[in-house]
Chains A and B, each alone.
Chain A
Amino acid sequence: MVTLLVISGVVFVGVRMIPGDPARVLAGTDADAAGLEEIREKYGLNAPLPLQYARWLGLAVRGDLGESIRTRQPVRQTVAAKLPITIELACLSLLVAIAIAIPAGIVAAVRRNTVWDLLASGISLCGVSVPNFWLGIMLILLVSVRLGWLPASGFVPLGDDPLGNIKRMVMPALVLGAGLAAVLMRQTRNAMIEVLSADYVRTARAKGLAQPAVVVRHALRNGLIPVVTILGLQMGALMSGAVVTEQIFVIPGFGRLIVEAVFTRDYPVVQGVVLITASAYVLINLLVDVSYTVLNPRIRVRGTADGA
């Protein structure tokens, strides 16, 4: 809560420091002084800053984020229209990342110091290092321009045309998921190596359990705890990545919204978007904390995550 309050204050003051006059954007270039003044009055831009902040915060806690200075639509509505697109992108990327990282991490840990381990670790290192917007551009170049398999950009709502939607989401999800997969794979490998050498795993082996049963049922569950932590911390990177990915693939989501809003000095939209992003990040990390207790009943509120 305190964190959120500080965030909201910082966002509010920060946005007000952006040079440029939103009234001028609204009024257009040919407005006279009286017209500008009228607009400032109407949107409360003349009130002292603390008052503007109190007004905005009071409405924000009730879910009213004001209206966009540019489109005159409520910010809530604008965000509600864009958010599902970015959430879909994020979920698909997460799916891609988990589908690649967890099996690869397990294989690398189980077959430690073999060619497979080296290969997986090498690819993971490349994944961490490659700038994702360049990866996106290269994918467009290969898949769309050279091979003509998938459309390079654009967006079709999932409800209108599911196949068309997925076709356009495959590359963005791969691009956004790649970096995340690399980080997760590293983490999975390290966590699994640690867990696999634990006493209880040796006991399970001594009981005569087969390798898959040991790995999946005994080791994986404990091994996943640090992985989940990293996943939560990576959400910020995922959101940042979404901004860039949406820019490259021209997806009209949350990320494009913030870039557009910044360029047009649309205060209410920037405030709303940043506040929602930061809140989401805080909330996700809370969920991550909660998920510990599910994965490992030994951890309660006062406990500490082991092996992290």
Chain B
Amino acid sequence: MAREAAVWHVVRRRPAAAAGALIVALYVALALGAPWIARQDPTRTDWSQIRKAPSLAHPFGTDDLGRDGFARVIWGARISMQAGVFSILLAIAIGVPIGLAAGFYRGSFDQVIMRLTDAWLAFPFLILAIGLVTILGPSLTNATIAIGLGATPTYIRLTRGLVLATAAEDYVQSARALGAGDLRLMARHILPNIVSAIVVQATVAIPTAIIAEAVLSFLGLGVQPPAPSWGTMLNTAQQFLEQAPWMAYWPGLAIFVLTLSFNLAGDGLRDILDPRDS
């Protein structure tokens, strides 16, 4: 009840956040409904339609191989969303349990984990991702894994910090006094209290991951042609800036609007889940 009220409160007080959430939902719909929304095949080449300016038949123009820009941008949403969401889910799946254990057991285990995390964090995100993709080979799956592993140390740290604070709370101590085991303490008493912070972090991490996928694909280390990724599309577009600038407009705009909406929605979500901050 209280949460629902808070949602409406935010919608009224922060229309920008609500609009952001709406646009993110729209992108999800586009990604899921790509086959029905984009009627043309995003990978079908047409030699009679090379680099045509936007028209009724091709609202976003065509690219250097005569492929429909609109279809490619729509299908690109699917790839971007996949990379963004799955990489962060991977980071959560690895980072949260490690951080939970480190914060709960403390001591030398914690020390070792934190040293490793520090070293992990010392690699600039992209350098780490480039290195991993080189080892694994360029593909959407591997780019997703690389981005996820890049985001993992942040989750380890966040979780550990939250656990340290939560484990000291009275109710956790009393649960322990009542004879609750370690696993029960972590799963039933600590985890539910830190979930909201983890979700809020995801709204910051997902747009970053989406940009990272675009960057890797732009560098040729992510999604491989002919699959339509916004980053790969921009890479091609850069070669035809003078002849076909529209090739560069739409994929970039798609990334920009999506990350902007995610950030707006994230701000709103923070207000709902963590009222103390505002």
Interface residues, chain A, CB within 8 Å of chain B?
2-4, 6-7, 10-11, 14-15, 17-19, 125-126, 128-131, 133-134, 137-138, 140-141, 145, 152, 235-237, 239-241, 243-244, 247-248, 258-259, 262, 270, 274, 277-278, 281-282
Contacts and interface: CB of A to CB of B under 8 A. Distances in A.
Chain A, interface SS category: helix
B123 A274 contact: yes
A137 B234 contact: yes
A270 B131 contact: yes
Interface in B88-139: 115-116, 118-119, 121-127, 130-132, 134-135, 137
A244 B264 contact: no
- Counting from the closest, the 6 A-B pairs by CB-CB distance are A134-B252, A240-B126, A129-B260, A236-B124, A6-B119, A129-B259
A244 B234 contact: no
Contacts of B130: 243, 258-259, 262
B238 A131 contact: no
Nearest to A247: B219
A270 B219 CA distance: 16
B25 interface: no
Interface residues of B, number: 40
A137 B127 contact: no
Given A2-B115, A137-B237, A258-B130, A281 B122 contact: yes
Interface of B: 115-116, 118-119, 121-127, 130-132, 134-135, 137, 207, 211, 214-215, 218-219, 221, 234, 237-238, 241-242, 245, 248, 251-252, 255-256, 259-260, 262-264
Given A133-B214, A237-B124, 9 more contacts: A14-B132, A15-B131, A125-B263, A133-B218, A134-B255, A138-B252, A145-B245, A240-B125, A247-B219
B168 to A, nearest CB: 18
B248 A138 contact: yes
B134 A281 contact: no
Contact of A141 (B123, B245, B263): B245
17 contacts: A2-B119, A4-B119, A6-B119, A11-B131, A14-B132, A130-B256, A131-B214, A131-B215, A131-B259, A240-B126, A244-B218, A247-B218, A262-B130, A262-B131, A274-B127, A277-B124, A282-B122
A133 B215 contact: yes
B146 to A, nearest CB: 12
Chain B, interface SS category: helix
Of the candidates B119, B127, B237, the one having the most CB atoms from chain A within 10 angstroms of its own CB is: B127
Of the candidates A14, A131, A247, A259, the one having the most CB atoms from chain B within 10 angstroms of its own CB is: A131
Contacts of B115: 2-3, 6
Given A18-B135, A133-B218, A134-B256, A140 B241 contact: yes
B241 A145 contact: yes
B234 A236 contact: no
Contacts of B242: 145
Contacts of B221: 262
B245 A236 contact: no
Given A131-B259, A137-B241, A125 B264 contact: yes
A131 B131 contact: no
B234 A134 contact: yes
Contacts of A235: 124
Contacts of B264: 125
Contacts of A244: 126, 215, 218-219
Given A134-B234, A274-B131, A3 B218 contact: no
